[in-house]
Structure 1
Amino acid sequence: MPKSGIVPPLRLCFFMWLVFTIEFYTRIDFGYLGIYPREISGLIGVAMAPLLHGNFNHLASNTIPLLVLGGSLYFFYPRIAPRVFLHAYFFTNILVWIFGRPFYHIGASGLIYALASFLVFFGLFKRNFKSVIISAFMIFLYGGLAYGLFSFDDRISWESHLMGAVVGLASAFTFSKSNRINY
């Protein structure tokens, strides 16, 4: 793995844990900085939501997949990884702001769904050996994420999951069709 491959997802995880630690010790809930759909004040959440988590379990359950999926993206596709990561981070959250239910959406699960979706669909669209193997491995590891698209728990932002999956799919399609990019 290139030395810098794990750095961007690791850096994001560091900031997620830092924000959670600050919330814990100051007893201030930063949830109001999440995405609140179709409200101008909720736009701050487009940048902040992935850094915010409701509790320790929420944070922990987002950390490992973010490191695995983000690390895989940067390891296997280093030239396009920064653009894919930014698409996954911002476009997912913008779509949640446009289409989400009116409550505060927080957490990195939309980003996780976008990364997983990209890694699965890129191989299916690109159809080269390396990408297909990566797709199959991601389906094996994270195929269960598909159940999260249909959450019946009102406290879970299925919109983030769905929008992340859509952004990952669209990014995979777009980048797989570009012949100018060396992955």
Structure 2
Amino acid sequence: MIDNQFKFTNAVVGVPLFFVLFLWFVYWMEIRFGFDFDKNGIYPRTFSGLQGVFLSPFIHSDLNHLYNNSMPLLVLLAALQFFYAKQSFAVIGYGILFSGILTWLIGRSNYHIGASGLVYVLVAFIFFKGILSQYYRLVALSLTVIILYGGVVWYAFPEVDDAISWEGHLAGLITGVVLSFVYKTPEYMKPIKYDWEKSDFSQSEDKFMQRFDENGNFVNLPKVEEVEESQSNLSYFTSNCAVAYTVVENKKNESEPKS
């Protein structure tokens, strides 16, 4: 694996910045023109509430709610775009979709709004994907994410704070874990150098592994069948073919070439 998989592009800054600015623009529209977008959130188990699956991440109740979601989104979306550029847009899109549907299924009968569900998707995906990849830079990223945002896991359980949508948080957490298993990152896998690292490796056919029994004790290789006796008596100087020799008399009276 070569570290040139990690490339800084304009999207590393542009994607999180555009997403967060759009959240603030929606909130400004609501304040400026007196709109009430709360009713466009997820209302569980109602047909009209399904619109919130797509709209709720962009709706926030107040500035504190918006700010608390904006800062993690800036960091996590930038990390996602830099380290998982190929999977980033799919994780964002499917993260919003499936976490919203799950919230619609398990949520309380109330409007659920805010981008916190996406925050939980990103935290879960980045953490578990780094651990599963076993690549040192991604593992370090996972540990950094859990140090910064590990405490948010408590808000994915009921009775911690009735004012928040713990159902949306739990749905985002579950969705992120599932996506970390669904989306593979073969570009971060170590190249196969040895036969025993291959998926079709068979211990019973390997000459080295044949020297050990089931308990790991060293044993000799199976004896090679003895060669037939008729062949074992043959040597380098013998032949099965008859050889006839002809003796030629040396003629001394032959003229020798002159120099």
TM-score (norm 2): 0.67
Q: Show structure 2 runs of 5+ residues with no match.
A: 1-7, 189-259
When structure 1 is superposed on structure 2, of 144-153 and 133-142 the one drifting more is 144-153
Aligned partner letter, 2:145: M
Matched, 1:113 2:120: yes
Query: Aligned pair count?
Result: 180
158, 161, 168: which one aligns with 1:160: 168
Please state whether the residue corresponding to 1:4 is helix, strand or coil. Answer: helix
Gaps of at least 5 residues in structure 1 are: none
Q: Which moved more, 1:144-153 or 1:122-131?
A: 144-153
- Correspondence for 2:14: 7
Give the share of equivalent positions with the same residue, in percent: 41
Amino acid at match of 1:155: A
Which amino acid in structure 1 is aligned with residue 154 of structure 2? Y
**Structure-2 separation of matches of 1:80 and 1:144:** 25
Amino acid at match of 1:135: S
Aligned equivalent of 1:64: 71
Q: 2:89 is matched with which residue?
A: 82
Partner deviation per Cα, 1:33-85 (whole Å, 9 max, x = no partner): 00011111111101110100000000000001011001100011111111111
Q: Residue 149 of structure 1 is aligned with which of 140, 147, 156?
A: 156
Provide the C-alpha distance between the structure 2 equivalents of 1:12 and 1:47, rounded to a whole number of angstroms. Answer: 14
1:144-163 superposed Cα distances (whole Å, 9 cap, x missing partner): 11121125322210011001
- Report the TM-score when normalising by structure 1: 0.93
Separation in 2 of the partners of 1:162 and 1:69? 18
SS of residue in 2 equivalent to 1:7: helix
Q: Does 1:95 align with 2:88?
A: no
The structure carrying a bigger helix percent of its residues is 1
Q: CA RMSD in A?
A: 1.4
Letter in 2 for 1:105: H
Using the TM superposition, name which of 109-118 and 136-145 deviates more.
Answer: 136-145
Correspondence for 1:125: 132
Could you say which structure has the greater relative contact order, defined with CA pairs below 8 angstroms and 6 or more residues apart?
1
The structure with the largest alpha-carbon Rg is 2
